Amino acid sequence: MQHNEPLNDRNVSEQSPYFYVDIEAYPTTGWDKFKQVIKRSFKGELFVGLWVVMREMIKFDIHTVQYPKEKLPIGPRYRAVHKLLRLWESGYERCIGCGLCEKICISDCIRMDTKIDENSRKEVTEYSINLGRCIFCGYCAEVCPELAIVHGQRYENGSEQRAHFVIKDDMLTPLDWLTSGQQAEFPGFGAITPNESVTKTPLAY
Amino acid sequence: MIEFTINNQPVTALKGETILQVARKTGFYIPTMCYIEKTKPCASCRLCVVEADSVDGLILSCQTPPTQGLAVTIDSDRLQQERTNIMRLYDVNHPLECGVCDKSGACDLQNKTLEFGISAQHFSAKDQNRKIEHWGLINYDPSLCILCEKCVHVCNEIIGDDAITLQFGGYKSAVVPKNSEKLDCTFCGECIAVCPVGALVSSQFQYSANAWELTQIPATCAHCSAGCSLTYEVKHTSNSNGAKPKIYRVTNNFEVATLCGAGRFGFDFDIQASKDNELFEKAVASFKNAKAIRFSSLITNEEAMILQRLKAKMGIKLFNEEARGYQSFMSAYSSVSGKSAFSGSLDAIAQSDGIIVLGGRVSADNPAVRYAMTTAARHNGARVVYMHPLEDALLQNVITQMVRYEAGSEEGVVAMLAQTLLKNCDISDETKGFLDSLDDGYLCAESNVGDEEFDRIAASLRRAKRKTLIIGSDVLHHKRAANIARLCGLIEKYSDYSLVIIPQNVNTVGVSLICDLDQDEKISDVVGYNAKGDFIVGSLGEYDMALPSLNQQEGTFVSLNYQLLSTNVAVAFEGYCLNDITTSLGVKAENTIDYTVQLPTEKGFKAVEFDALGNFYGPLGEDNRGYQLETMDCTIDGVLEEIEDLPEFNGTVVYYSNPVNQFNGYTARTSQLEHDTSLRGSAQFAAAARLSGGERIQIEGANTVRTFILDESLKGTIALVPTFDTSFGGLPETYRFEKIKLIKVGS
Ligand code: SF4
Ligand code: SF4
Ligand code: SF4
Ligand code: SF4
Ligand code: SF4
Ligand code: FES
């Protein structure tokens, strides 16, 4: 995903497409202000706007995205509702329960519970993010040593209450998604850029 | 005083101090990995090396005392190189699991690895397959262990269980249970505390929280009269559990203080209730109608003060037989010694080189006393004479002489002891007359302690310089307690022994100083506060209205050291507290801790606000907890009474004593501590009582059914009966030996 666009020259000069806009001086006296109000009210600009809408409607060439039936594609680095990923090889959860995301979170909205499992390993029993508080800063994803918590693309999180949560079951990649190759890698800070040559969990590279 | 220099700065050492101790005292930093202040040097890490002008090689500052005029250098390129190499070796094959390790963030290995900038492994060794051990409350991961030996040293020198040891095998070395497959010890958890890495961890806590997420709340242990300093570590639980705060673990300042298993693992005794106004009105009404309030010594000074004010205002009586026993014992003691408090303390015990213990099962009653005795035995080679009708297997490594007397004969034994210890002392004619008039023959015969045993005590303690007499709680409720107390006062007054009397509960001393207690009468209209009554409030047993537990209250206790110690709220209690009830009865205060400053100064308290009390140890181990109560002068008007005929305890006799780590209703409801409620007796007892192991029995008059367990480690004809599980718990308010009738239940 290389971008080779040339940089725009944003300096104002003869060559550049940028130029100063001629702005009329603001009225200062009461009388001038009154004249401006009268002029703006009766010039009929309102009808210009209505005409534009009317014209486009008749053309039947509408560019409006039919949300929610239709959604715009989102940049891979967009930071929306989190996901918890699995290891590609074994299907185990990547999260080791280190608690760094919980600690770094500046809105203090991650809560997790861990315990020792029967194989003497640390097991994450609960993991929740309060989306009502999350500011989608991405720190949690950045600090995670296991590339386990990442930001997904789901940005709809309307709710009846201010506090609402995503829990581990919602975020964790379902096993059948993993086997059918639907688990996407997070191309964010510290991660490698996924391409065809990546066949293992990026941690191993 | 030894004068020498560290990095060319002149410093002075006291006799017995090491270079490291002087360096720390004077603000020089020498890195260490295996050093722990309260034990002898482990000397295993070699990180503390320093250079001295008189020697070529490097010397270990943790175990070397300075000599006059020595010039010590503590930082040089050579030392830095040496220390860096040590740290490189420590890091070889150390698992890269800080991400999950309990110790991460508070790990000495992490800290020192960063301090010395070890970022790569320069040596290699074939890794071993090491098995993680599960030892009940403790898990041990040998691959994290750095073999510093701290755990072994505390277990042996301070605790006295001597349950673990290092198995040497080069790269395969590990900590193993001593002489057994699985760890069999009293589970004090002190080894967990001192472990600098995550090798020894609490099995229940492991992997449940990180060190940096826990809020530390300094408090005082509520389980026994030692009042050990501890820190409740609290965190919220997950959202699905309502995100309520919970105590995750208890830690302590292990460099200078020690905790027993009850303090460390018995912390989850908090309760919850909401504000129920109807119940509250009912409680207020019962207080209003009450003729008396019966309460236990599991109470803060402030609440004891509230009850005392209530008594003054409403003319009701206050019942607490356990504290009253201690109170009258102490007043009889004061009438001879002329002082309100005894001279000894836990520190004095630990520094003694001669100790006599009489009338208590210290290892279970007050583990802090046991640890102080172990320390004295290991560090000062103290001679320890243990006098009791029952042997205690836990003390066998510590005691040098066991003296068994007949149950009930304490008065005679103490009298004979006084005669022995005061033999060549400068005593008054009256006292001399009293001691001379003792009927040695009768007392020795009836108490079953021969003359020669007293001679041996005298001989073995003759050379000791710092001596302590420890009196257990058996005698506090003895029929002849007052005379025993006077005899103890006598010994302390005229001999060079310091005296320690072990109160039963966390605040027995505080209650005995604050409250005017009345003799308990079996009347009606009694409100019980953690005690029996017609209307019961509190947090123990079956209560009508819940009041906060002792880990949910702020307030103060008085420990057996006569030190005022503060405690804090670990988890908040949503319901009402005693102060709310009494405020509506006219004994008004905004907060319970408003009473701290009002504690009676004529009893030795100081007018200090609660918020001005410290609760921590300084960097060099200075005790900054609360304050020491003043010892008051008392009138000397006590007259020794003649020794009464010694009672006989024949037939089925039991001794009320709790298993180690169990004390009261609080410890009884904690989740980690073992709850052994069985009655234990020797084969001899079983034969006499016609019982066999596993039988279900009931003591006549009590309603608890117990299982009889034949215990090989016990001897003699007296069985042990626990009391922690009987509704309010604690030890009985009567003499601890009792002749009983056993009823077999079912079959
Ligand atoms: S994105 Fe930021 S605010 Fe949201 S959970 Fe992660 S660290 Fe917390
Ligand atoms: S930082 Fe990553 S591995 Fe650690 S707890 Fe959070 S999600 Fe799990
Ligand atoms: S013992 Fe210390 S260095 Fe070793 S894994 Fe645990 S935190 Fe890391
Ligand atoms: S828990 Fe206490 S007694 Fe048991 S091994 Fe550890 S230090 Fe020793
Ligand atoms: S278990 Fe801990 S305290 Fe014991 S030797 Fe190993 S590292 Fe040291
Ligand atoms: S501190 Fe001296 S050898 Fe470890």
| DSSP symbols for B667-694 | HHT-SSS-----EEE-HHHHHHTT--TT
- pLDDT-derived band at B728, boundaries 50, 70, 90: confident
What is the overall mean pLDDT for chain B?
94
pLDDT of A2: 54
Q: What is the DSSP letter of B646?
A: P
The total of structural domains in chain B comes to 4
Is B206 part of the contact surface with chain A (CB cutoff 8 Å)? yes
The enclosing domain of B678 has a CATH number of 2.40.40.20
Q: Are residues B245 and B351 in the same domain?
A: no
- pLDDT-derived band at A191, boundaries 50, 70, 90: low
Question: Using one digit for the tens of pLDDT, what is the confidence trace for B31-83?
Answer: 999 999 999 999 999 999 999 998 889 999 999 999 999 999 999 999 999 99
What 3-state class would DSSP assign to B564? strand
CA nearest to B100 within chain A: A98
pLDDT of A89: 85
CA nearest to A118 within chain B: B134
pLDDT of B424: 86
| pLDDT value at A124 more than 60 | yes
Q: Are residues B135 and B254 in the same domain?
A: yes
* pLDDT above 70 coverage of chain B, percent: 100
Contacts of B141 in chain A (CB under 8 A): 120
Lowest mean pLDDT among A153-157, B240-244, B658-662: B240-244
* Closest to B248 in 3D by CA, of A130, A118, A114: A114
Amino acid at site B669: R
pLDDT of A126: 93
The enclosing domain of B17 has a CATH number of 3.10.20.740
What's the gap in Å between B736 CA and the centre of ligand 4? 29
**Beta strands B705-710; B627-628: pairing state:** unpaired
Question: Using one digit for the tens of pLDDT, what is the confidence trace for B642-663?
Answer: 999 999 998 899 999 999 999 9
What's the gap in Å between B47 CA and the centre of ligand 6? 6
| pLDDT value at B152 more than 50 | yes
Q: What are B61's strand-pairing partners? A: none
With a Cβ cut-off of 6 Å, ligand 2 is lined by A 95-101, 143-144, 146, 148-149
**Rounded Cα distance, A176 and B271, in Å:** 45
| pLDDT value at B306 more than 80 | yes
**C-alpha distance from B245 to closest chain A C-alpha (Å):** 13
Q: Which domains does chain A have, with CATH numbers?
A: 82-179 (3.30.70.3270)
What's the gap in Å between A203 CA and the centre of ligand 2? 14
Q: What is the DSSP letter of B156?
A: I
Q: Which of B58, B75, B92 is the last residue of a domain?
A: B75
Kindly report the protein residue whose alpha carbon is nearest to atom 4 of ligand 2: A98
Q: Are residues B372 and B431 in the same domain?
A: yes
Question: Using one digit for the tens of pLDDT, what is the confidence trace for A86-103?
Answer: 988 888 999 999 999 999
Q: Is residue B316 part of a domain?
A: no
Amino acid at site B495: S
pLDDT of A195: 64
pLDDT of A4: 64
**CB–CB of A111 and B239 under 8 A?**
yes
CA nearest to A99 within chain B: B210
The enclosing domain of B467 has a CATH number of 3.40.228.10
Is B171 part of the contact surface with chain A (CB cutoff 8 Å)? no
Helices B108-115 and B77-91: angle between axes, nearest 10 degrees = 130
Amino acid at site A58: I
Burial (0-12, 13-18, 19+ Cβ within 10 Å), A58 = exposed
Chain A stretch 46-75, residues whose beta carbon is closer than 8 A to a beta carbon of chain B: none
Considering CB atoms only, which of B100, B207, B238 is closest to A111? Answer: B238
Q: Is residue B321 part of a domain?
A: no
- pLDDT-derived band at A194, boundaries 50, 70, 90: low
Q: Are residues B670 and B731 in the same domain?
A: yes
Give the residue numbers spanning the domain of B228.
124-265
- pLDDT-derived band at B616, boundaries 50, 70, 90: very high
Summarize the confidence of residues B151-172 as an average pLDDT: 94
Q: Are residues B663 and B722 in the same domain?
A: yes
What 3-state class would DSSP assign to B56? coil
Q: Are residues B462 and B402 in the same domain?
A: yes
Question: Using one digit for the tens of pLDDT, what is the confidence trace for B525-582?
Answer: 999 999 999 999 999 988 999 999 999 999 999 999 999 999 999 999 999 999 999 9
- Reported as half-sphere exposure (CB side, CA atoms, 13 A), residue B188 has a value of 28
Summarize the confidence of residues B8-25 as an average pLDDT: 96
Q: Is residue B582 part of a domain?
A: no
Summarize the confidence of residues B592-602 as an average pLDDT: 97
Is residue A137 within 8 A of residue A131, CB to CB? The reply is no
pLDDT of B431: 92
Q: Is residue B474 part of a domain?
A: yes
Q: What is the DSSP letter of B719?
A: E
Is residue B226 within 8 A of residue B367, CB to CB? The reply is yes
pLDDT of B702: 85
| pLDDT value at A189 more than 60 | no
| pLDDT value at B700 more than 60 | yes
What is the overall mean pLDDT for chain A?
85
Is residue B104 within 8 A of residue B53, CB to CB? The reply is no
* pLDDT above 90 coverage of chain B, percent: 89
Q: Are residues B369 and B493 in the same domain?
A: yes
Q: Are residues B456 and B377 in the same domain?
A: yes
Is A122 part of the contact surface with chain B (CB cutoff 8 Å)? yes
Please, what's the b/e burial string for B31-44 (b: 16 or more CB within 10 A of its CB; e: otherwise)? bbbbbbebbebbeb
Summarize the confidence of residues B713-725 as an average pLDDT: 91
Rg (CA), chain A: 26
Question: Using one digit for the tens of pLDDT, what is the confidence trace for B427-446?
Answer: 999 999 999 999 999 999 99
Q: Is residue B249 part of a domain?
A: yes
Q: Which of B476, B501, B526 is the last residue of a domain?
A: B501
Summarize the confidence of residues B475-495 as an average pLDDT: 96
Is A104 part of the contact surface with chain B (CB cutoff 8 Å)? no
| DSSP symbols for A52-71 | HHHHHHHHT------TTTS-
Question: Using one digit for the tens of pLDDT, what is the confidence trace for B264-293?
Answer: 999 999 999 999 999 999 999 999 999 999
Contacts of A123 in chain B (CB under 8 A): 207
**CB–CB of A126 and B238 under 8 A?**
yes
The enclosing domain of B150 has a CATH number of 3.30.70.20
Q: Is residue B255 part of a domain?
A: yes
Is residue B393 within 8 A of residue B185, CB to CB? The reply is no
Q: pTM for the full model? A: 0.91
Q: Is residue B212 part of a domain?
A: yes
Containing H/E element for A82?
strand A82-84
| pLDDT value at A190 more than 70 | no
| pLDDT value at B198 more than 50 | yes
Is A113 part of the contact surface with chain B (CB cutoff 8 Å)? yes
More confident residue, B6 or B171: B6
Q: Are residues B134 and B69 in the same domain?
A: no
Summarize the confidence of residues A32-61 as an average pLDDT: 86
- pLDDT-derived band at A1, boundaries 50, 70, 90: very low
Considering CB atoms only, which of B206, B210, B213 is closest to A116? Answer: B206
Q: Is residue B55 part of a domain?
A: yes
**Rounded Cα distance, B19 and B222, in Å:** 38
Q: Are residues B383 and B250 in the same domain?
A: no
Q: Are residues B355 and B494 in the same domain?
A: yes
Phi-psi region of A44 (alpha: psi -120 to 50; beta: other; left: phi over 0): left
Is residue B357 within 8 A of residue B217, CB to CB? The reply is no
pLDDT of A193: 60
* Token representation of residue B400: 């040098």
pLDDT of A187: 62
**Rounded Cα distance, B618 and B623, in Å:** 7
Q: Are residues B26 and B146 in the same domain?
A: no
pLDDT of B609: 97
* Token representation of residue B363: 């290892």
Which position has the token pair 């019961």?
Answer: B536
Q: Which of B455, B470, B501 is the last residue of a domain?
A: B501
| pLDDT value at A204 more than 70 | no
Q: Residue B168 CA: which ligand is closest?
A: 5
Peptide bond into B732 cis (omega under 30): no
Question: Using one digit for the tens of pLDDT, what is the confidence trace for B383-423?
Answer: 999 999 999 999 999 999 999 999 999 999 999 999 999 99
pLDDT of B127: 86
With a Cβ cut-off of 6 Å, ligand 1 is lined by A 104-107, 109-110, 129, 134-140
What 3-state class would DSSP assign to B142? coil
Cα-Cα-Cα-Cα dihedral of B178, B183, B184, B189, to 10°? 110
**C-alpha distance from B236 to closest chain A C-alpha (Å):** 9
Is residue A166 within 8 A of residue A111, CB to CB? The reply is no
Q: What is the DSSP letter of B360?
A: S
Which position has the token pair 């009461």?
Answer: A30
Considering CB atoms only, which of B132, B210, B243 is closest to A120? Answer: B132
How many interchain CB pairs under 8 A, A with B? Answer: 51
- Reported as half-sphere exposure (CB side, CA atoms, 13 A), residue B435 has a value of 25
| pLDDT value at B747 more than 60 | no
Count of other CB atoms within 10 angstroms of residue B732: 15
